[in-house]
Chains A and B, each alone.
Chain A
Amino acid sequence: MALRDELGPYFGEYGGRFVPESLIAALDELDAAYQAAREDPVFQEELAELHRTYTGRPSIITEVPRFAKHAGGARIILKREDLNHTGSHKINNVLGQALVARRLGKTRLIAETGAGQHGVATATAAALFGMECVVYMGEVDTERQALNVARMRLLGATVIPVTTGSRTLKDAINEALRDWVANVENTHYLLGTVAGPHPFPVMVRDFHKIIGEEARAQVLELTGALPDAVAACVGGGSNAMGIFHAFLDDPSVDLYGYEAAGEGHLTERHAATITRGRPGVLHGARSYMLQDEDGQTIESHSISAGLDYPGVGPEHAWLADIGRAKYLPITDDEAMQALRLLSLTEGIIPAIESAHALAGVIKLGKELGPDATILVNLSGRGDKDMETAGKYFDILDAEALAAEDVAPIDPSELGMSDGGVER
């Protein structure tokens, strides 16, 4: 069987449905609706039309020769998912699932978000389809991604800061699952990555596989051959599965997933789940995860909120075990240097997540040499990361920003007698 034909619920020993019985009916209903949609030309055309007229698909590819000089002179081609509406690949999956939810008669979308990109995409789809939207976000993340919180609110979503556990993405998923258990009748849980219980890993992958399908044809047209390697960053793993999938059965194409190694994969502050974790059950599926001896989930760390997750999708766990894809660690600093390099050499500011893939490719290009062609998924744009990058490179005019923040308008004009603005 072709590797591309895997349909779950298991990928080798990974995947499955490790959830409370209360959710099984909803997962069965979702699976049936998704299987029907998959075969239905009307659904496929609806989604394709949305991608043409709303997402901005097909996304282009961009060859980056000036950047490539720093990567052993290999030919490097970016798949520009950063140019999609809402700024990342996330919209591909969100529109697909929102259409399925609408078919199921659901009127309320809930989602988890880490950096806020998936939350923004979900809030966008909810606005487009006239659905209610609730986004769960770890309290820690709402603080470090305040701008995305504002974006979601502007789009009409309710953002609920999650104050339990580590108050980050994994706890936001727990809270979304609790909401779903209580509200399955009218609610669809729009999970944002290729993790979670079946059918999510397969469904989310299918909605993202358009990335690899487009890119495979585009690279063939540009170069007359398949690339030697395809690279992507891996947190939960949705953009990586999206670009890997079309190449799974091309044995000449090597696949590389770059995990967030934080302060180093040998330190305790990283999110390198496949590199350092071991198989276990988290958020409804069996896969690799970061955990202690007792099976308690360990908190992950990455400068990139979108990769700061202690689990990974089950299909990646399987691809790692069978050796079809390689998963390698990239530190915060390596990613940040790659972010700056692409900005300086090509005028493209990538998301910090995607910069992990770029950093990996700088090493890979040097190994493969100037004859190699490497396709990289540039999964998101860096606008959301300006504050982090500004502080990291010490290029943020902190005083000016603070002044702007504190006194957007003259308080006396508001008739405030004390002249002060509480912050």
Chain B
Amino acid sequence: MTAAAQRSSPVELAISTRRQAGSGALIGYLPVGFPDLDTSIEAAVALVENGVDVLELGLPYSDPVMDGTVIQQATQAALAGGFRLRHGFEAVAAITARVAAPVLVMTYWNPVVQFGVDRFADELVTAGGAGLITPDLIPDEAGEWLATSDRTGLDRVFLAAPSSTDARLAQAVEKSRGFVYAVSTMGITGARSDVDTAARGLVNRLRGVGATSTCVGLGISTPEQVREVLAYADGAIVGSMLVKALQEGGVDAVGRAAAHLATGK
């Protein structure tokens, strides 16, 4: 029996608990090390204290092709400020010591490869992390990570896009654990006035191939959009809007922003 089979996914549990309460989960993204390591930890804690159910902690990377300007600028500032991978594990440990919400790490693939997939997973488990969201790793290329996440029981969140074929959606559902990340629009991260109608269709297609835990991300920045998404999906993921709040008003502002978003749950 693999570790994965023995251990239930805390992320999936957090999401289904919210679903059973008649709503869905709010998932909040912030990068580690922005504006500095300590403040990023405080900000993540503030998200949970203000209604965020699952944390998505981003590891700053030199070539973030999935990110729009807000997150690019924040992660670039974190790198310039001396971000190192070990700070990611330190942040996860510090946050999970203070709040109960599960913490997923969002990382581009090369840092994991260089750290060593096994070593990365083991350190993440030790720090209390729940798993990885991998924006530039598709299941087809993820052999090593599939084996390692099975061994450690870590969650693995793969992306599904409006352009994905049904066969690829089925693969994303089969290989993901925790949830499937439904990309709301053909694009990159950043707030949008309308969350694409493509998101609803994509979530329906994912359900059609067996998805039980699907969260929608990209472009969500208001409580109204959160409510709209939770009407058909299991969770709503917010990133750029929170990063902007942190950048402009610090920890207090990002806490208020989370509380405001949570009114849409």
Contact = CB atoms under 8 A, between A and B. Distances in A.
Interface of A: 16-22, 24-26, 164-165, 170-171, 174, 177-178, 181-185, 280-284, 291, 293-297
B183 interface: yes
Contacts of A24: 138, 161, 163-164, 168
Most chain A beta-carbon contacts within 10 A, residue among B65, B79, B141, B159: B65
B65 A20 contact: yes
Contact of A174 (B63, B112, B165): B63
Interface of B: 61-66, 68-69, 72-73, 76, 79, 84-85, 109-115, 135-138, 140-141, 158-165, 168, 172, 183, 186-188
Contacts of A177: 65
A279 to B, nearest CB: 8
Among A18, A21, A294, the most chain B Cβ lie within 10 Å of the Cβ of: A21
Nearest 8 A/B pairs, CB to CB: A295-B114, A25-B163, A295-B111, A22-B161, A182-B187, A21-B159, A295-B110, A281-B110
Contacts of B115: 294-295
A352 B65 CA distance: 30
B115 to A, nearest CB: 7
A297 B114 contact: no
A283 B164 contact: no
B136 A19 contact: yes
Given A174-B64, A282-B63, A293 B138 contact: no
A294 B183 contact: no
Nearest to A297: B62
Given A21-B158, A294-B84, 12 more contacts: A16-B141, A18-B109, A18-B141, A20-B135, A20-B161, A21-B164, A22-B187, A24-B164, A178-B66, A185-B186, A282-B63, A291-B114
A20 B110 contact: no
22 contacts: A19-B136, A19-B138, A20-B66, A20-B183, A21-B138, A21-B161, A174-B63, A177-B65, A178-B66, A181-B186, A183-B186, A185-B186, A280-B110, A281-B109, A281-B136, A293-B114, A295-B85, A295-B114, A295-B115, A296-B62, A296-B79, A296-B111
B140 to A, nearest CB: 7
A164 to B, nearest CB: 5
Contact of B63 (A17, A26, A297): A297
B114 A18 contact: no
Nearest to B137: A18
Contacts of B140: 17
Contacts of B69: 164
A25 B138 CA distance: 12
Given A21-B158, A21-B160, A296 B168 contact: no
Nearest to B69: A164
A170 B63 contact: yes
Given A184-B186, A294-B84, A296-B79, A283 B63 contact: yes
Contacts of A296: 61-62, 79, 111
Contacts of B113: 280-281, 295
Contact of B183 (A17, A21, A170, A291): A21
B110 A282 contact: yes
Nearest to B162: A22
A31 to B, nearest CB: 13
B65 A174 contact: yes
A170 to B, nearest CB: 7
A280 B115 CA distance: 11
A17 B137 CA distance: 8
A272 B113 CA distance: 21
B236 to A, nearest CB: 19
Contacts of B136: 18-20, 281, 284
Given A18-B137, A21-B172, A294 B109 contact: no
Contacts of A20: 65-66, 135-136, 159, 161, 183
A178 B159 CA distance: 16
Given A293-B114, A295-B111, A22 B85 contact: no
A110 to B, nearest CB: 14
B76 A165 contact: yes
B110 A21 contact: no
Nearest to A171: B63
